[in-house]
Structure 1
């Protein structure tokens, strides 16, 4: 049962769909005498407004529907022409089913309208083969879509705060956290949590492949990291007063305020490069003091605090660059490091090509869903055509609406749907027998029955939705042609057939949904990112003038995208039991980001002490790096249910050795990473005597 403000949203949607369907259906059927056009005018609002869950405000949804109208007309035309032969329709269904399901790579709005577009091909590709009715079909479809778009504009849902507004509010909180007096740590972390994409309405998520959306999403992750770093700094033990650190924090606060204002108004961008210059001067002073006489060297606790502040200043610098790209559609100044802003200078077609090709793999959950949907719909079309089922499009509609990403979730949906259809069929059969051919009574009942079905169905669940929709079908078809109680029988048979096909596809094609893939994707992500740790350590510990190996971060960035997609679907699926959901996947993503960002910003300054790092610091850094690699490999093996080796022994922090600023930066980075990995390992380690069967590769 849906509770709270969502009820009002469901009721408004039910009113919009009912009004649009009624205004299109009645005049075309009773005024113009066009039953085919009336049928398409009835189903177009249902497809675009009910079957399709298009996110956003009313004008946003209306815009998506209007842009989806030309493809809808093409699909209806293609379905009408391919209805000449069952196997031609099956081939078209296989291709169209895959393409429309795979369009989810383009973001939530295209993914939302795709199921409705599927229905237009499904309706048209069934017998009778009647190309002479194509004009009537397209006219009804157009009328229904335009009426629904008008209703979306006239009766809109309240607009949600945009991601830019959320980001600006979070940056204001970061500015207060970096200023003297600060902000309570939990308040800073709560502000960062508002930027989690899982907590943002789908319409406001920066999920596109273009530069602006990519930059906005990266800005959100950087701001979250900055807020968490500020919270950690506030929780750290107090250190002696340090004017240079206070000055750099002041620069961070100024930059956050300027970026927030720039996001809201688009005027007066923050001065480019000011924070970068301050960071370089700050690091130069640290190296100068570390290379001076022992009496001038700063205490270790001060150096560690400076390192934390330098790290959060780098996060703020990334916010500055990404806000610039998101606002202008591209960088106005060179974006460094280029590896992390690889998209900034690429054209939009190339970015879309990367997004699509990056998901053309059986490791992509979006690709898996598209294959599962296409096979299910094609099989349903073949069965319905071969058995010559009456109203066979209901078979495909059942596959489309009841299919889930896991076999268990599909079975639960099928059970409820079949039960609801059974009740609805009995009531509809009794209604048809009782009313006979009194068309005027059916006409009077259709609108209130639709309103009840479209409002109560989402509120009460699948069983009620299926039962009430059966009544909608009976009252609508009874006005177009004479019907008997066998209409309910045909719908019951078709829904059961479609349910079985959908269930079979769920059992054969990735039955565990994203649960298995999220284990594999997270393990691959960790294994791809952890080699950056020893490479970064060697780059920092190399003596002045020594050779350095540039960290290669693009493979890790690609793995991060696939892991984020698997995690997003995993959270969208039916919740699993607590034992199987112990792993802290969000911590894995944060740890991977920690490796990628550290590998870029730590070596970037290029400053070295005159004599390099001390032997003790270098030995500790190399030993810790090796231990982190071993610990990460152990976690990855636990995720994929392989035999894991013993836990590596921790290295002791060289507190007695006066470290250089660079080795302290490395120490703070790796110590923080070790703490994150320890929490992850605790969450993925099964209790004694248990196993993780879902993690085993097939």
Structure 2
């Protein structure tokens, strides 16, 4: 997009119309895409115009490759993109048919645009493939819903769709296809192999703990979606994609816990810890092999059994003469890593299709196992049917803008009125500032392009052979420079493309360029109005609200989890006392995650303050709360002595109160003051409750660290050891 992160001064020079700097890979990719789209478009357009003399057929054969090849960010390799277009053809045919018949009246076409726009944007939350084709599907309805009302041309329209889509599929597959990208499964497998190698090194005692920790953290960072190509991110609503995403989250948590453990294992580990670490290394290697397809997924039972055995034998050795606290902290951290390994193993089994259910594991963690794909789609869509979801806001903003543009174009009887909707569709952004920036540059580009097109139309007149000769090079330049140059170049060059194309379909004059200016300006104004009136702050405000709601939802879970541990109750797979809080936390986590995903695509404010909330840390905080609610305590214990229970409840009150304060995002941050354990308490509690107490201590300190990082400036933990 055009200069999204660039500071804007009062004076603007001609340099702002130059293409934004782009990487060589981006430029090469745009050039390859330009060749594919141009070949697909002209291969159907020229025969339809010159041999068949069917202008409607020609128009659709030209615009369908442009819609799927330029306007729609199709993910993945050439083969995957071809499959995406093929699956979208039935929906495109239905929308063209619907638009053709609703064009009978302005009000019906406008109402149809409202419904179609809202439905398509909301359905885009299903996954990246649907997201990629939504702009193309919107264009299919836009083309068909404009006058003249001509149901008799529907066969030509559908024929143009069939030819254009077929040529697009062939070109995406065979002509300079996009290369295969490293899969997310491969990234997770690489990370698990790194974990297995690090665990073996720690067991042998020759590895440097700090270097190992940094290597593990670096491997975990590679699993972030921001470092993964959009086409291979497992963001779909299907069970396998959900499982792969969960495997990625759990693997990152596992690596981070191993990294925290690595500097603490410079001394020889106790025998139970060494055995568990060895088993985890073997499990990681097996799961990596399963993701690469070289062996079946082992399933989580083996790691669960290791955890059960470890929880039964860990503790303070009778001959230990030093302070047992460091040993118990190491054991607790290792056990937390093992619990993350259980999640990894279960998620890998689901992601590789080996299972359809996960009996024995918390139902809330793998609720999607065994569910049908349509149900999972509906769950994803229904989760965004709230004004607090940025997906819902985008659907309302886009649908309202397109419907208003259709109403204005139809009521004013604008020539080539579909350009009004096309301008609104391509220039609309999720923030008012970004929309204004795009509109401002697009207006300048359209003006320059229209002047050039007007001069061409006046000088060439009705010599169609001139336009036929110019169409191919114009399309190549427009579809190469436009996407990397920004709205100014895109709109200006596209004006030349449509002028040379329409001049071959029907006689035109320089007034075509004038109509282009009027239509794009009209669409730009409508998009700007919608951007100002409908959630102008984009995801930034919603990120703050959803993070605050997430903090409020997690607070009760913290208290319930510690209460169960202090009273000696194991954590069952279903908990009536926490079910409502679990549901609320999961729901707000999904909404906050969607807000965070959109926030990463928006330009930062021009005067953004230093520091501020760390939204990713807020998401990590809630994930850690959920993991603790599922797994703490690890097994049945006994009730703690009164001084230990009092400490746990006081520490919990402090974390819960800090969580609720953090929901207000105070400018000076929050301070979490956790008192140390009562003196001598670790020697007075029998096993396994002494280990449970330290488990809770480590968990609460980790929550405090995440919480203070999430809130921003001035935050700190007092009394912690991390």
TM-score range, shorter chain: over 0.9
Q: Distance in 1 between matches of 2:412 and 2:153?
A: 25
Q: Distance in 2 between matches of 1:402 and 1:33?
A: 34
| Displacement after TM superposition at 1:653 (Å) | 3.5
The range that moved more, 325-334 or 33-42, is 325-334
2:104 paired with 1:80: no
Number of aligned residue pairs = 677
**Partner of residue 166, structure 1:** 187
Q: Taking structure 1 as reference, are residues 170 and 237 closer, same or farther at Cα in structure 2, changes over 3 Å only?
A: closer
Question: Over residues 203-232 of structure 1, what are the superposed CA-to-partner deviations in whole Å (9 max), with x where a residue is unaligned?
Answer: 211112221111111110000000011111
2:48 paired with 1:36: no
Q: Distance in 1 between matches of 2:570 and 2:125?
A: 45
Q: Taking structure 1 as reference, are residues 667 and 239 closer, same or farther at Cα in structure 2, changes over 3 Å only?
A: farther
**Partner of residue 423, structure 1:** 448
Whether contact under 8 Å (2:71, 2:135) holds in the other structure is: yes
Alignment of 1:659-698 (within 5 A): 660-683=690-713
The range that moved more, 223-232 or 570-579, is 570-579
Local SS of the residue matching 2:712:
helix
Q: Distance in 1 between matches of 2:356 and 2:140?
A: 42
2:442 paired with 1:442: no
| Displacement after TM superposition at 1:335 (Å) | 4.8
Whether contact under 8 Å (1:523, 1:636) holds in the other structure is: yes
- Cα RMSD (Å): 2.3
**Partner of residue 650, structure 1:** 674
Q: 2:109 aligns with which of 89, 98, 101?
A: 89
Question: Over residues 410-459 of structure 1, what are the superposed CA-to-partner deviations in whole Å (9 max), with x where a residue is unaligned?
Answer: 00000000000000011110111111111101100001100010001122
**Partner of residue 13, structure 2:** none
Q: 1:52 aligns with which of 56, 63, 72?
A: 72
Alignment of 1:473-484 (within 5 A): 473-484=498-509
Q: Taking structure 1 as reference, are residues 8 and 544 closer, same or farther at Cα in structure 2, changes over 3 Å only?
A: closer
**Partner of residue 140, structure 1:** 160
**Partner of residue 574, structure 1:** 603
The range that moved more, 262-271 or 361-370, is 262-271
Q: Taking structure 1 as reference, are residues 134 and 313 closer, same or farther at Cα in structure 2, changes over 3 Å only?
A: same
Q: Taking structure 1 as reference, are residues 545 and 118 closer, same or farther at Cα in structure 2, changes over 3 Å only?
A: closer
2:25 paired with 1:5: yes
Q: Distance in 1 between matches of 2:348 and 2:194?
A: 16
| Displacement after TM superposition at 1:332 (Å) | 5.9
**Partner of residue 718, structure 2:** none
| Displacement after TM superposition at 1:531 (Å) | 1.5
| Displacement after TM superposition at 1:298 (Å) | 7.9
Q: Distance in 2 between matches of 1:546 and 1:308?
A: 18
Q: Distance in 2 between matches of 1:403 and 1:330?
A: 43
Question: Over residues 46-88 of structure 1, what are the superposed CA-to-partner deviations in whole Å (9 max), with x where a residue is unaligned?
Answer: 0111111111111111111111111111111111111111111
2:300 paired with 1:286: no
| Displacement after TM superposition at 1:607 (Å) | 2.4
| Displacement after TM superposition at 1:394 (Å) | 0.3
**Partner of residue 695, structure 1:** none
Q: Distance in 2 between matches of 1:35 and 1:217?
A: 47
Alignment of 1:492-511 (within 5 A): 492-511=517-536
Q: Taking structure 1 as reference, are residues 296 and 347 closer, same or farther at Cα in structure 2, changes over 3 Å only?
A: farther
| Displacement after TM superposition at 1:271 (Å) | 6.0
| Displacement after TM superposition at 1:349 (Å) | 2.6
Q: Taking structure 1 as reference, are residues 169 and 537 closer, same or farther at Cα in structure 2, changes over 3 Å only?
A: same
Whether contact under 8 Å (1:52, 1:112) holds in the other structure is: yes
Q: Taking structure 1 as reference, are residues 674 and 654 closer, same or farther at Cα in structure 2, changes over 3 Å only?
A: farther
Local SS of the residue matching 2:24:
coil
**Partner of residue 273, structure 1:** 301
**Partner of residue 719, structure 2:** none
Q: Distance in 2 between matches of 1:297 and 1:614?
A: 23
Q: Distance in 1 between matches of 2:489 and 2:610?
A: 31
Question: Over residues 657-688 of structure 1, what are the superposed CA-to-partner deviations in whole Å (9 max), with x where a residue is unaligned?
Answer: 32611101111111111122222233487xxx
**Partner of residue 257, structure 1:** 285
Whether contact under 8 Å (1:638, 1:684) holds in the other structure is: no
2:250 paired with 1:222: yes
Q: Distance in 2 between matches of 1:376 and 1:271?
A: 49
**Partner of residue 593, structure 2:** 564
Q: Distance in 2 between matches of 1:546 and 1:468?
A: 63
Q: Distance in 1 between matches of 2:670 and 2:453?
A: 65
| Displacement after TM superposition at 1:558 (Å) | 1.5
Q: Distance in 2 between matches of 1:671 and 1:120?
A: 55
Whether contact under 8 Å (1:207, 1:213) holds in the other structure is: yes
Q: 1:393 aligns with which of 385, 408, 418?
A: 418
Q: Taking structure 1 as reference, are residues 223 and 34 closer, same or farther at Cα in structure 2, changes over 3 Å only?
A: same
Q: Taking structure 1 as reference, are residues 390 and 333 closer, same or farther at Cα in structure 2, changes over 3 Å only?
A: closer
2:122 paired with 1:102: yes
Local SS of the residue matching 1:24:
helix
Q: Taking structure 1 as reference, are residues 366 and 581 closer, same or farther at Cα in structure 2, changes over 3 Å only?
A: farther
| Displacement after TM superposition at 1:543 (Å) | 4.2
Q: Taking structure 1 as reference, are residues 684 and 205 closer, same or farther at Cα in structure 2, changes over 3 Å only?
A: farther
Local SS of the residue matching 1:338:
coil
Whether contact under 8 Å (2:146, 2:418) holds in the other structure is: yes
Local SS of the residue matching 1:184:
helix
**Partner of residue 461, structure 1:** 486
Q: TM-score, normalised by structure 2?
A: 0.90
Q: Taking structure 1 as reference, are residues 22 and 335 closer, same or farther at Cα in structure 2, changes over 3 Å only?
A: farther
Question: Over residues 497-540 of structure 1, what are the superposed CA-to-partner deviations in whole Å (9 max), with x where a residue is unaligned?
Answer: 00000000011110001010000011111111121112111111
Q: Taking structure 1 as reference, are residues 176 and 73 closer, same or farther at Cα in structure 2, changes over 3 Å only?
A: same
Whether contact under 8 Å (1:404, 1:506) holds in the other structure is: yes
Q: Taking structure 1 as reference, are residues 337 and 649 closer, same or farther at Cα in structure 2, changes over 3 Å only?
A: same
Q: Distance in 2 between matches of 1:281 and 1:300?
A: 21
Question: Over residues 62-117 of structure 1, what are the superposed CA-to-partner deviations in whole Å (9 max), with x where a residue is unaligned?
Answer: 11111111111111111111111111110111111111111211111101101111
Local SS of the residue matching 2:201:
coil
Question: Over residues 117-157 of structure 1, what are the superposed CA-to-partner deviations in whole Å (9 max), with x where a residue is unaligned?
Answer: 11111111111111111111111121111101100001211
Q: Distance in 2 between matches of 1:98 and 1:336?
A: 38
Question: Over residues 450-503 of structure 1, what are the superposed CA-to-partner deviations in whole Å (9 max), with x where a residue is unaligned?
Answer: 001000112222101111110001111111111111100000000000000000
2:157 paired with 1:157: no
